A and B are shown apart, each in its own frame.
Chain A
C-alpha cells in the first residue's frame, strides 16, 4: 500500500498537437479511492496508463510510495490493473487467470492455489475456477478481472471503467461491492469513469479532467457544493446546474425580475475584474416554485416519483432559456402552465471565462 503522486506529468501522443494529459499534479493518499472523471477524450485513461507504465511520461514524473517510477517498466511497479474489457487471458481458466501474476513472482503452486481460492471466495467465484473466460457472463468476467487484481495484493489498484460493460442494475450493485471491497483491503485505488454518478458515489475524492487539464480535485460533497469553475459546475450533478449569463450593475445581478445581490467577496472580485456580465449558477433543488420571483412557461415535467423536475422556459434577452426546478413528487404543475420561481440559496457565480468568483480558495485544486 502506498501513496501515489503525479508531478507535472505530461503525455503527448505522437502526431498530436495537444498533450492528452497536461502537467498533471495530483496527490493520492495511502488507502484512498480517487476517481478520475471527465468527458470522453479528456485524458483519464491516458493518466491511468501513465501510472501503470503502459504510456510513457514525456514530462514530469509519477511516484508510487515515494519511489520515482517514471521510467520503471509496468512489471516492476507492483500495481494491478482492471481493464475496461477485462483483458482476461482467453486460453487460461479462471484459476489460472487469477494465479498468473503470482506465478510470475515464482510463488509456489500450493500457495498460489490457496490465495486464488481465498480471492475466489471473496468474489463468489469458486464454482467457476475451472472455466474459461468465454464461458462466463459479463458480470462474472468483471469479477474475475477484480480477482486477478486482488490476488496480487499490489500497492495500487488501477481501474479503467471496470463497470461500463455491465447492465445498469448490475453496475449499481457492483459499484457498492467494489467500494466496499476497496475499503476492506485498504489498497490505494485510482478509478477512471466517465459517469459522474459513479464518481460521486464511489470516490473518497474526485478529480475532474477536461482536455488533459485537471479542473478540480475534491471530496464529492465539496465538488457538488463548490465547483471550482464553470466546467465542473456543469459536469457534476444530474440534472445539471442551471447556468445562465446575467448582467451585473452596482453589485447586483439580475435575472429578469429576479434581483440577485452579490455577496461581498464576489462583488469585490467582479469589480476587480471589471465584469459587466457574470454566469449565475443554481442547482434545481435551490429553486422554488411560488408566488414571487420571475415567471416562465412550463416546457416539460420530468416525474421521478419521489420528486419531479420542472423545466421552465424563461425569456432571456432576445432568446429563451430553460431553467430546471426541483419540486416534490406530488406536483400539480403541468406543461403549458405559467409559474413563478425564486432562489432559496446556494448561488454560484462565475466569470464568463470560467473561474469561480468567490474569494475562498478551493483546497486541493491544481
Chain B
C-alpha cells in the first residue's frame, strides 16, 4: 500500500493519467504487433533470399563484361551493357516481338475467355463436365502444347488445317514459316483462354442476381445489361486476368523454342536472353542486362495495361 510508484500517484491529475494510459496502450500495441509478426519472420527471410538474391546477382552481372567462351575475366563496366542494347537491332526486334506477343495473347484470351464464361454462366446439363473439358488446355505442359499444335495442327504435311484447306481445294500453307509470330500467339491464346475464363466466371458468379433483375425491370436489353452492369462489375476480374496474363506471357519461352525455334520474327526477349547466354552466346553480362529490362518492362506493361483497362471501364456518365 505504500505509494512507491510515482506515476500512479493518486494526486496525478486526469490529464497525466490519460497520457500514461495512452503511453501504456502504445507500448502494448507495439508488443502485440511484434508478437504477431515474429512467427512470420523465417518465412519472410526465406522468401527474400530465394526471390531477391538472384535478382541482385543479375543486377550485378548486368554491370559487368562476363563472357565464358572464350573464358575472360569478369570486369565491371557500368551501364555499358544497357547502352549497347539500344543500338542492338536484334534486341529491338525481340523487344517488339515481346510487346506484340504479350499484348495480343492477353487481349485475345481475355476476350475469348469472357465470351466462353458468359456462355458457361447458366445452368445446363453437363455443365461441370464441359467446364472441366474447357480448362484442360491450361493444364497441358507448354512444350506439349507447342508440339501438338506444330505437328498436328499447323504442319503442312500432317496438320489438320492444311488437310481441311486441301479438302476445299486450297494449296498447302506452311503456317509456322509464313506467320511465325501469329502461330505462337494462337497457341498461347489456346492455353490462356481457360485461365481467363475461370477468373471471369468467378466474377460472373459473384454478381448479385437482384441487381440484374433490377436492370431487367428497368427496361435494359441484354446488351445494355452486359455493357452497363456486368462489364463494370467484372472490372477487377479483368484487371487480375490482365495482370497475371501479362506477367506470365512476357516470359514465354517453351512454345517459341518448340514451334519456331526462334528467329527475328518470333523470338521475344527471354528467348533472346537464352540465345545470348547458355543458348550459344555465352555473354552473361549482356544477357543479365536484358533480363533486367524484361523485369522493368513487365512492371511497366502490367501497370499500363491496368490503366488502360480501368480507363475503358470507367466511362460512366452521371445521369
Contact = CB atoms under 8 A, between A and B. Distances in A.
The dominant DSSP class at the B interface is helix
B210 A104 contact: no
A182 interface: no
Nearest to A114: B319
Interface stretch (A72-80, A253-261, A269-277, A342-350): A72-80
Interface in B277-319: 316-319
Contact of A116 (B220, B221, B224, B319): B319
A91 B316 contact: yes
A161 to B, nearest CB: 12
Interface string B205-218: 00010110111111
Contacts of A74: 213, 216-217
B131 interface: no
Given A87-B211, A89-B211, A95 B318 contact: yes
Interface of A: 52-54, 73-77, 79-81, 83-85, 87-93, 95-96, 99-105, 109, 112-113, 116, 129-130, 148, 152, 158
Interface in B228-268: 228-229, 232-233, 235
A109 B319 contact: yes
Contacts of B217: 52-54, 74-75, 77, 79-81, 158
B233 A90 contact: yes
Contacts of B224: 104
Interface residues on B, range: 20 to 34
Contacts of B228: 89, 100
User: Which 9 residue pairs across A and B have the least CB separation, nearest first?
Assistant: A87-B210, A91-B232, A101-B218, A87-B214, A99-B319, A104-B219, A75-B219, A74-B216, A112-B319
A83 B316 contact: no
A264 B232 CA distance: 69
Nearest to A77: B217
Nearest to B314: A91
For A52, A84, A104, A105, the residue with the greatest tally of chain B CB atoms inside 10 Å of its CB is A104
5 contacts: A52-B217, A54-B213, A88-B214, A89-B215, A91-B235
A96 B315 CA distance: 12
A109 B317 contact: yes
A162 to B, nearest CB: 12
Given A100-B218, A100-B220, A85 B210 contact: yes
Interface in B185-219: 208, 210-211, 213-219
B216 A105 contact: no
B219 A105 contact: yes
A185 B210 CA distance: 25
B101 to A, nearest CB: 32
